[in-house]
Structure 1
Amino acid sequence: MSEPLLIQTKDLSVTFSIGNGVFKKQQLKAVDGISIDIPKGSFFGVVGESGSGKTTLGRALLNAVPISDGHATYDDGEVTYDLADLDGAALKDYRKRAQLIFQDPYAALSPRMTVRDIIAEPLEVMGLTANREETDARVREIAAKCRLNLEHLRRFPHAFSGGQRQRISIARALVSGPQFIVADESVAALDVSIQADILNLLKSIQQEMGLTFLFISHDLSVVAHTCDHVAVMYLGRIVESAPTRQLFKNARHPYTKALFSAIPSLDPDDRGSAQKLVGEIPSPTNQPTGCKFHTRCPYVTELCKQQEPPLVTCEEGHAVSCHRWEELQEGITA
């Protein structure tokens, strides 16, 4: 039996108006018609280049940026929220249930606050505890889960390494008892050895507390280590989505294949066969017609330039947005 859905979106779009009185305003569509289902208790990954809309999607699901079009719902079995229409008491309650782990552990923590005060701040702001003793008990409980001891709570952030600071950030995100966590490139700023430690911590916490993660990353090896399902984004749209093992075994979209081909090999004699993508990702304010990827795709046809491919299911749980995916699967590349 499949898990119930915690987050569900349908044609979700986020558009920003940029410019001022001097320059003509332009519409920047950072997220364009995203439909995803995130089951409760899952580790859902989103990958793509910088500028693909990953972070904006995560912030939209946290109600940190306004949703321009489409629908997004949160349903944890106790309450159901329409994320495009949250305010007042409902928004305050949603803040307890959905939290963010920031990318940079050095910039995310106030240098003027002790670790205890940093972790306790959400409890005090949201009014989740009745007194200081209750707050301290909750802080110690969460700190222990994140492998922080009592001595750490009395120190300031400058006394810690990057990995320790990220554990502090994780503890701050968990202290309000959320159900949904957005981890936005949360290990990108860390050394490789520390990345593994933080990823293992996130997985153990997820299993222990029954949390649901939206894990945003540009590193496919990190996604492979943690995620149950992966959505690949390009220029605000999902071009491929599948269970992690299935995606890594049999990627269908040319962009996904290019990303996989760029993963470094541990074999020093393996020169690899990286597929070079020509050019840069187009500007979100001046998007190409048809398939958004056609300006960089080696298999582009006139149909690709004129008509945007729908996201279609090619097998159970696996969807792809490409006019030629069936031909490419059979090895036809001309």
Structure 2
Amino acid sequence: MTTLPDIYAQMVQRGEITADAAQEAVLPEFERIRAELSRPVKRGFFRRAPEPVRGLYIWGGVGRGKSMLMDLMVDHAGVPCRRVHFHAFMQEVHAGMHAARKEGVDDAIAPVAEESAKGLRLLALDEMQITDITDAMIVGRFFEKLFAAGVTVVTTSNRAPDDLYRDGLNRQLFLPFIELLKERMVVRELVSKTDYRQDRLAGEQVYFAPADTEARRAIAAIWADLSAEVAPLVLHVKGRRIELPAVSRGVAKASFFDLCGQPLGPADYLVLAETIRVLILEDIPQMGRFNFNEAKRFVTLIDALYEARVRLICSAAADPEYLYIEGEGSFEFERTASRLREMMSEGWGAPAP
């Protein structure tokens, strides 16, 4: 059987990827899981669920290749498996629990976990991040049931396990889940100096004005290069919904109206900025007295993206300095225009040294 390191080396030789020592250092963990899962399952007389192979929690900076390595394993797992973005998975869990409660089920987690685990040997969750107290209160018991059903879990994250849900409400109730992760999964950091997502944008134009057919065509090409397995994503913040029409591997694509035409505030944009690493924002209009509320939200959005160093690719009606030239707040918008200019520069968005 060809191993994952062998396949990785072949991809390097064909020029599909660049050899990275940090990626090669964690590949044996992915190969361990693939090899152990490929062994025949021994079932006793009472057909108990097989003991799951110890999973993997791999974390590190954005764009380092964590998702690529996980996808490589999923593609060659050879067992029933599922790969899904963590937030999308939690949305399914919430929807399933809501349906179970409507049917009068006391423990709504149990039937949803049972359905999720049915026929599954490997669950690959991309970009684990806990920002919502409801998720924090659910994941521990849910993962326990997945492990009890014999499911092996592999997940990627930008944070070490001990940093999950840091400073969150009632975090002490979340701490047993962190210990469960450490017990049932090998924790490895992918320490690479190269942000390949930034490299793919190096030298690329990222601000397009005006937002015409040519701009739409250029942004579509960038989106096609960065995305795969696109799906919508809904983030829940204190009972509110942030709807992102298209998300793929930490890259989100939305319109100005999607994010600034809705009643969202600073907390919403902060969660958004923590969840994604690249935002493609289309059709930013000129702003003034007639859309003052949308302009205020846009300023708040840019501030959140800037502080989180999220890469921004956008199309707009005009250059940054001419997006908001009259009305209350025009002076304050000068800072936003300056930040947009800075975010347009090559190399912006890389982690600060």
TM-score normalized with structure 2 length: 0.33
Higher RCO (Cα < 8 Å, 6 or more apart): 1
Answer 1 or 2: which has greater strand percent.
Answer: 1
Answer 1 or 2: which has greater helix percent.
Answer: 2
